[in-house]
Structure 1
Amino acid sequence: MPGPLAGLRVVDLTQVLAGPFCTMLLADMDADVIKVEPPHGDVARQWGPHLDPPGAYGGYFASVNRNKRGVVADLSTTAGRDLLLRLLDTADVLVENFRVGVMDRFGLSWEVLHERCPGLVYASIRGFGDPRTGASPHAERPAFDIIAQAMGGVMGVTGEDAAHPMKVGPGVGDIFPAALAAVGILAAVREAEASGVGRYVDVALYDAVLALSERIVHQYSITGSSPVPQGNSHPLLCPYGVVRTATGAVAIAAPSDRHWAALARIAGRPELGSDPRFATNAARLARTVEVYGIVEGWSRQRSSAEVVRALADHVPCGPVHSAADIVADPHIAARNMVLPVEHPSGGAVQVVGRAVKFSGEDAGPLRPAPLLGEHTALVVAELGSGRRTVPP
């Protein structure tokens, strides 16, 4: 059964992670994503880890460029720009993550393309956004995930304490902006289908990470104090964190009084469910160290598996998984959340599957990321002489 975006054509000029992850989300829903790369290719093709033999790209590129077709076009040349324009005449969406002004210098600005293709949705993902939607004083600066995490608030509340800020392991400074860009693109496509007029969609890494960190702003507004890192506990909810076990650690979330009463009962301290020193979240927050001490007094006498078995049906609880644990979890198999994708080496790479599911969907296997320019001849052959300016 075709995915919900079948028939949507996306021209993808993005590289590395934020842009490719955004267009991967669209490709996973059956959009025809045509990845247009310069002759030297997306720099991420070179990044590992690599299979042996390495093939044309590593796992990094394989993961976020699956289900796309690949075309080479040198936008610094007339021929390359002409090819891109012919593609855009048949497209619904353009996505790019160049620095401010790059597309303008190519003669491919939003204004130029909007005049040529009024129905085209044009999306950009930049470190500090595009001046068209708000002229940041940082607009010209380059940025990566770690910069967005640092400036957008995530790093300032992650780690053991204020003296040791820490980035989040996954690239949330790229991936969350990518997800927001996909939402914005689909909203603009819906509008363009009705009006025939496309929009410019702009997402800044900094803005998106701030949106992800929303809690810190209302806390600061109300309390006058900037939140700081405090390890695995939560500044507003208790208990809501990680506790040690005899074999490792588990995450427990029992901020509601009902969940706390259940946790106290299972831990052999039912009286604490009604004890005024612990019965409310506010009371527990005032005694955070004592609360976690009570919970760990019970959990450290048991394995992580025993703690999860005792709690998970009554109190939100889960083990701290490694990648190996995730791959072995039956949930992952049942939900098709780790899938193989073919690799040019002749082997296969396991990658994360589609997180968005649809009823009635029987999604086929993932198609491998394209070789550099693999589909150039095919895509050029598909291009007709007609111009499509309004999405179907």
Structure 2
Amino acid sequence: MTQSSGPLAGIRVLDLSRVLAGPWATQTLADLGAEVIKIERPGTGDDTRQWGPPFTQKADGSRGDAAYFLCANRGKKSVELDIATSEGAATVRDLVALCDVLVENFKTGGLKKYGLDYASLSEINPRLVYCSITGFGQDGPDAHRAGYDYMIQAMGGLMSITGQPDGAPGAEPMKVGVAVVDLFTGLYASNAILAALMHARATGEGQQIDIALFDVQAAMLANQASNYFVSGTAPTRMGNAHPNLAPYQPFPCTDGMVVIAVGNDGQFRALAQALGAPGLGTDPRFVTNALRIEHRAAMTAEVSALTAGQHMASLMAVLEAANVPCGPVNTIDQVFDEPQAKHRGLEIEQARSDLTHPVRTVASPIRMSRTPVAYHRAPPALGADTEEVLGQLKTQ
């Protein structure tokens, strides 16, 4: 049942998670060569199989899985199993004896009634790395609460710094356009799993990993949290402006918007030269980053006036020649049309026999010189591997 290549070849992962944070973590492990066995509810499977439209189309013309499911379940084997039954729970325990990692995102304590909690399963497999992903963690006053990305973006402060500032048109707290807390949680989880596997390999001792969306969101605040700790003032919404750098935002062109990302004073002087306004770079109001932030409105207005009459392509050509970081505000279709995206192979296609078209997903961003990522399997049809996995379990 083991994958044939990759740095994690020989590692077997039992995936009891669903939706996004857990599946994102296990997809990363699968991309790196681990064998991932995804346990799904009979008949319905992972919730995200129904989170559409859009949906794939099966070869017989019927509706397939939602596109959402495809983004986080590449490289896995799907096993239909009802863990709420004594037989299903016993099968999970049998699989645990043969696995290195288990990932779950049930409510805190939710698996104990099935005998599938860490304490029970570590008795079966002391080397087991057991990763629990919840909204608020395994302890604390909110440990019992369910957690969803949107509410955690709100509760964890991200929405308070995202969106137009008060008084501007459309001003209100905004969520990010993808479920970033889930995605960051999946990445933290996969990192923690790899560290725990190294410990298990060295000592023979497994452990439970406790990853909470709320904790991750707090960690994601990064420089904004530091700004608060140092200043004592909570950051607020600034639209597309950056709290610590200027200019660092989109600027208008005749055919769209270009982000100009100035990271130091030399780049600002180069920007002024490239825009044909060298005096801007020596203006006493703008000579340092701190001064540009102090006079942000005036500086932004002057730069905007210089970019507004230019085409995006010509502006970026001039800025790139001057080594000023910049980029277009692309729509998602334009992202995958970028020459760099095509060169790096950011879109991959995988055939699945039950669908009318290949499954298209975004390639892993991990590039390794000795043990490259390999894409062994398309996101699976529900229960596609039940017979294979459970059949082989009997021979192990």
TM-score by length of 2: 0.92
Give me the CA root mean square deviation. 1.7
- Aligned match of 2:157: 153
Q: What are the Cα deviations for residues 101-149 of structure 1, in whole angstroms up to 9, with x where unaligned?
A: 1111111111111122110000011111112xxx2x2212212110111
**SS at the partner of 1:318?**
strand
- Aligned match of 1:43: 47
Q: Does 1:8 find its partner at 2:21?
A: no
- Aligned match of 2:22: 19
Residue of structure 1 aligned with 2:313, choices 305, 326, 343: 305
- Aligned match of 1:383: 393
Q: What are the Cα deviations for residues 212-247 of structure 1, in whole angstroms up to 9, with x where unaligned?
A: 112232222222211110100012111111111111
Q: 2:9 touches 2:34 (CA, 8 Å); kept in 1?
A: yes
Residue of structure 2 aligned with 1:29, choices 20, 29, 32: 32
- Aligned match of 1:390: none
Q: 1:55 touches 1:345 (CA, 8 Å); kept in 2?
A: no
- After alignment, is 207-216 or 355-364 more displaced? 355-364
Q: Does 1:182 find its partner at 2:185?
A: no
- Aligned match of 1:389: none
Q: Does 1:292 find its partner at 2:300?
A: yes
C-alpha displacement of 1:78:
1.6
- Aligned match of 1:345: 355
**SS at the partner of 2:64?**
coil
Percent identity reads: 39
Residues 266 and 210 (structure 1), Cα distance of their counterparts in 2 relative to 1, 3 Å cut: same
Structure 2: which amino acid aligns with 1:307? L
Structure 2: which amino acid aligns with 1:316? P
Structure 2: which amino acid aligns with 1:321? N
C-alpha displacement of 1:384:
5.4
Residues 194 and 245 (structure 1), Cα distance of their counterparts in 2 relative to 1, 3 Å cut: same
Structure 2: which amino acid aligns with 1:60? Y
C-alpha displacement of 1:368:
1.5
C-alpha displacement of 1:260:
0.6
Structure 1: which amino acid aligns with 2:318? A
TM-score by length of 1: 0.93
Q: 1:54 touches 1:345 (CA, 8 Å); kept in 2?
A: no
Q: Does 1:144 find its partner at 2:144?
A: no
Output the CA distance in 1 between the equivalents of 2:305 and 2:116: 63
Q: What are the Cα deviations for residues 130-189 of structure 1, in whole angstroms up to 9, with x where unaligned?
A: 12xxx2x22122121101111112111000024511000011021111111111111101
Output the CA distance in 1 between the equivalents of 2:389 and 2:243: 53
Contiguous gaps of at least 5 residues in structure 1: 387-392
Output the CA distance in 1 between the equivalents of 2:197 and 2:103: 13
Structure 2: which amino acid aligns with 1:242? P
**SS at the partner of 1:56?**
strand
Structure 2: which amino acid aligns with 1:268? G
Structure 1: which amino acid aligns with 2:156? G
- Aligned match of 2:332: 323
- After alignment, is 11-20 or 210-219 more displaced? 210-219
Structure 1: which amino acid aligns with 2:14? V
Contiguous gaps of at least 5 residues in structure 2: none
Number of positions where the alignment pairs a residue of Structure 1 with one of Structure 2: 382
Q: 2:252 touches 2:307 (CA, 8 Å); kept in 1?
A: yes
Residue of structure 1 aligned with 2:199, choices 162, 182, 191: 191
Residues 27 and 266 (structure 1), Cα distance of their counterparts in 2 relative to 1, 3 Å cut: same
- After alignment, is 248-257 or 269-278 more displaced? 269-278
- Aligned match of 1:357: 367
Residues 334 and 361 (structure 1), Cα distance of their counterparts in 2 relative to 1, 3 Å cut: farther
Output the CA distance in 1 between the equivalents of 2:102 and 2:70: 21
